[in-house]
Amino acid sequence: MAKAVLVMDMPEQVCQKCTLCYETENDDEYLCCATGKLLPDGEKPDWCPLRELPEKIPDLKSGYEDFSVSISRVGWNACLDEILEERKE
């Protein structure tokens, strides 16, 4: 099955601040629309599907870096740049 990625601002540690969280008809009950699960009170649950993007790999200037590592770094960082690019649509 094909996969998709949604890039959004990471909400605070409280699910109720997330754009994927909706209040149900029952008072003080919230639903995660990404998983279809009811949210527990308190902090973000372990089963939350949102993950922070990894960091870019820093540029190595030692002159001793492996060529394959250098190519991997360039590809990794280019991929992150593409994901974070603002769309003008």
Taking the domains of the chain in order of start, what are their residue ranges? Answer: 11-44, 53-89
Q: What is the pLDDT of residue 44?
A: 83
pLDDT tens track for 30-86: 899 999 999 887 778 889 888 888 888 776 666 555 555 566 777 888 888 888 887
Q: What is the pLDDT of residue 37?
A: 93
Residues 6 or more apart whose CB falls under 8 angstroms from that of 73 comprise 57, 59, 60
Q: Are 20 and 32 in contact (CB under 8 A)?
A: yes
